[in-house]
Every structure is written in C-alpha cells, then in structure tokens.
C-alpha cells in the first residue's frame, strides 16, 4: 500500500540526502458510588427462586447466596439454610423463575427503557450468584442481557456499577465481552476516563488473554484522545500479560505514552532496554515514532522529522501508528514555520485516515494555520 506521493516528496525536499529520512487501557469506583445504585439497594439482596424437578417431584428453592462454591438455600419457614453443591444433574433439574422474553421483544424494538423496567427486579438478585458455574447458563444469560441493555440504553453509570460488582476473572469470557461493549461505548461517547476505569478490571491472563487485543485498541483510543495518565497503567498491565514475542510492541507504546505525558526519564529507561528493530521489520517504524516523539517533545524538530520520516517511509498505511507519525511530522513543520508542508501532511491524515482520532487533531491543527495565497 502506498502513501501520497506528494507528502513523501515534500518531506524529501526538506532535507539533504545524508539525513536518511529523505532517502527512505484495577481501579474500581468507590464504595460510596456503588451504594448510590438504587436498584441494587432495592433488589440486589432479594432471594432467587428456582424450581427443581426430581423425577416429577417439583419444589421451589429459595437461594439466598453463593458461598464456597455452593448454592445456599433458605429452608422452608426460614428456619435455617442448606448448602448445595452444583452438579450437572442438579443444573439440569433447576429452572430459574425469570422470564426475559418480553424484555427481549422490547429490546428488538429498541425500547430499552421498557426492557430495563422488566429486567431490573428480575436480574439484580442474580448478581450475587454470578460466580456459579457456566452450566447454570439460565442464570448467566439474563445477567449479561441486563448489562448489554444498559449499554444500549446508554445507562453507563448503572452499567459500570453492575460490572464493578463482578469478579471477571472467575466467570466465563462472555462477561468480558459485555464489559468490552461498555468500554467501547464509553470511548465512542468520549467518556475516556470512565472507559479507562472499565479497561482496568478486565482480566488478561490465561483464558482471558483474548481481552488483550480489544484492550490495546482501547489504549490506542485513549492515547489518541490525549489521556496519557489513564493509558500508562493500562499499558503496564498489558505488558505483564502479553506473550514475550509481543512485549516489545507494548513496551514501545508504553514508552511513547510516557513521552507524551512528559515523563521522559521513565520513557528513556524503557527505550534503553529495547533493541532497535531492523528496517525491514514491522516494529521499525514504531520504534522511530518513539524516538521521534521524544525528540519532538524536547523541541528538536529537525531531528524529530528525521527520525519520524525514517519510520514513515518504512511503514505500511495499515499500521495503526501511521496517522500519529504523520501528525507529529506536520507539527514539526509547523514549529519550523513551514506551514505549507504542515498543511499538506495534516490534510493527508484527514483524507486517508478519517476514522482515526488523529484526523480530528489534524483538522483542528489545520484550522489554526494562517491562510496563504497558495491555499
């Protein structure tokens, strides 16, 4: 995939051949905040009724807790409690007395408010049982449905309250998928700090390693929005979880975010541990972005353009960091008072990467440039 010929030639014109550049996401909300959820206060501690069918003999069990891997049922008349182990045969014999069909029909019609009125009293009591084994799918389905409906209804504060009550590393991966939906919806709504809080509760080890990719995407969005203090701990958490072969990639992004957060000493300490990739390697252009951003932060704009362009000409347009590289190159030109070059580079971002957060930054920067007779 090729870059704009004009942008490359404009960059090359600026420097002599000797400058090689020319040649080529667990912070949780406070307990006080949790207590403000009126629906949890109203419904959360209520018992959950399940009907058990043992060879035709039916009885209704009133479950009040899940402790030590067992369901705790209240005995008739409230005279005591009995702890029941969850077995496959038991799971098959139980039927949850929760009907979500009417709510589902409302959701299909996008009547989220009506659906939530039906779901809240039925589903909030299930939250305290979220760690029961997946074989009780009839319990987990309604709970995930509540979370997803809260997201669709943009009831983000309530959705956050619910997911913060879940031990995500002790439940099935589908819960993480619902939490990722919430995180991405917050990012789309530009609620970046809220999204960062959600990102930090997602597990990333073992079977939950599939969460790493969406977390990296979230970190990219947070970084693009300039939320460096939020994204730095997220990258640190991801760094410890990714496979060895992917760690250098995350470390580069961590160092880059530290640079943009003006934490140059920390960034330098990471940079010194990294080996510069070969120019033919994919991470070469990212490494040059890291070096170039550091020079840019230190206001060494000529050196920054040199480093950034070395990476740019080795990158493919599909690389996620290309818009950032171009943006910084444009900013270097702007600081060197070459407004024509800056305009050309920033315009290319707007045209080629309209969905990138850097397109918004480029457009804002374009709007601040003085008008010239060549425009």
Beta bridge partners of 192: none
pLDDT given for residue 57 in this prediction: 67
- CB count within 10 Å of CB 234 equals 25
- Dihedral (C-alpha) 87, 88, 91, 92: value to the nearest 10 degrees? -140
Q: What DSSP letter does each residue of 256-321 carry, written as one string? A: HHHHHTT-HHHHHHHHTTSPPPPTTSTHHHHHHHHHHHHHHHTT-HHHHHHHHHHHHTTS-TTSTT
Residue 99: CB partners within 8 Å, gap ≥ 6? 122
Q: What distance in Å separates the CA atoms of residue 89 and residue 91, rounded to the nearest whole number?
A: 5
Q: What is the pLDDT of residues 188-228, one digit of tens each?
A: 999 999 999 999 899 988 889 899 889 988 988 888 788 88
pLDDT at position 30 over 60 = no
Per-residue pLDDT tens over the stretch 221-270: 888 788 888 888 888 888 878 877 778 888 888 888 888 888 888 988 88
pLDDT the model gives residue 74? 84
Region 282-309: mean pLDDT is: 93
352 has a pLDDT exceeding 90:
yes
- How far are the Cα atoms of 83, 143, 229, 362 from residue 347, in angstroms, in the given order? 66, 46, 29, 7
Q: What is the band of 51 on the pLDDT scale with cuts at 50, 70, 90?
A: confident
Reply yes or no on whether the pLDDT at 36 is more than 60. yes
- The model's pTM is 0.72
């Amino acid at each position: 995939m090729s870059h704009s010929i004009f942008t490359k030639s404009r960059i090359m014109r600026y420097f002599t051949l000797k400058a090689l550049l020319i040649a080529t996401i667990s912070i949780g909300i406070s307990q006080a905040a949790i207590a403000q959820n009126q629906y949890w206060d109203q419904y959360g501690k209520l018992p959950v009724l399940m009907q058990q069918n043992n060879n035709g003999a039916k009885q209704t069990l009133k479950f009040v807790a899940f402790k030590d891997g067992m369901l705790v049922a209240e005995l008739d008349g409230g005279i005591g409690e009995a702890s029941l182990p969850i077995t496959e045969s038991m799971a098959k014999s139980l039927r949850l007395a929760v009907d979500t069909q009417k709510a589902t029909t409302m959701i299909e019609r996008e009547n989220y408010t009506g659906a939530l009125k039906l779901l809240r009293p039925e589903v909030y009591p299930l939250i305290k049982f979220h760690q029961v084994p997946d074989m009780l799918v009839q319990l987990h389905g309604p709970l995930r449905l509540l979370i997803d409906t809260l997201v669709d209804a943009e009831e983000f504060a309530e959705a956050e309250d619910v997911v913060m009550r879940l031990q995500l590393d002790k439940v099935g991966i589908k819960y993480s998928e619902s939490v990722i939906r919430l995180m991405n919806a917050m990012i789309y709504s530009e609620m970046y700090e809220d999204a960062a809080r959600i990102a930090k509760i997602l597990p990333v080890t073992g079977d939950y390693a599939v969460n790493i990719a969406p977390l990296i995407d979230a970190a990219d969005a947070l970084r693009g929005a300039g939320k460096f203090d939020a994204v730095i701990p997220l990258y640190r958490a991801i760094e410890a979880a990714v496979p060895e072969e992917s760690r250098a990639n995350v470390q580069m992004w961590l160092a880059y975010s530290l640079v943009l957060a003006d934490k140059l000493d920390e960034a330098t300490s990471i940079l010194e541990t990294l080996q510069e990739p070969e120019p033919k390697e994919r991470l070469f252009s990212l490494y040059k972005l890291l070096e170039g951003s550091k020079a840019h932060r230190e206001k060494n704009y000529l050196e920054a353009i040199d480093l950034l362009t070395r990476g740019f000409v080795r990158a493919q347009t599909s690389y996620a960091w290309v818009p950032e590289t171009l943006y910084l190159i444009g900013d270097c030109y702007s600081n060197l008072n070459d407004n024509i070059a800056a305009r050309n580079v920033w315009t290319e971002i707007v045209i080629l990467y309209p969905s990138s957060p850097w397109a918004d930054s480029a457009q804002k920067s374009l709007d601040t440039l003085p008008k010239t007779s060549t425009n």
